[in-house]
Amino acid sequence: METVSYSLTSFSRSLPFSVMVRQTWLNKVKAFDACHRFSKEIHREELDKIWEQIREGAFG
């Protein structure tokens, strides 16, 4: 069985990279969530307009 050893220096060099990757991932998730919420708001406005027209009898 092969043993793997990590030195403290190699770990400390890779740490900033892993933090950067994690931050990039979080930024993408936040951006997606913001777009998703914006999209839901647009659809909600469109549905509200349609329901208002239905209540006014535009389609009857």
- Residue 49 pLDDT: 92
- pLDDT tens per residue, range 13-48: 555 667 777 788 888 888 888 888 888 888 899 999
4 has a pLDDT exceeding 70 = no
CA distances from 31 to 8, 17, 28, 45 (A): 35, 21, 5, 21
Determine the pLDDT at residue 29: 83
Structure tokens belonging to residue 14? 């890779």
Distance CA 6, CA 57 (A): 73
Residues 53/59, Cβ–Cβ less than 8 Å: yes
Domain coordinates in residue numbering, the chain: 25-60
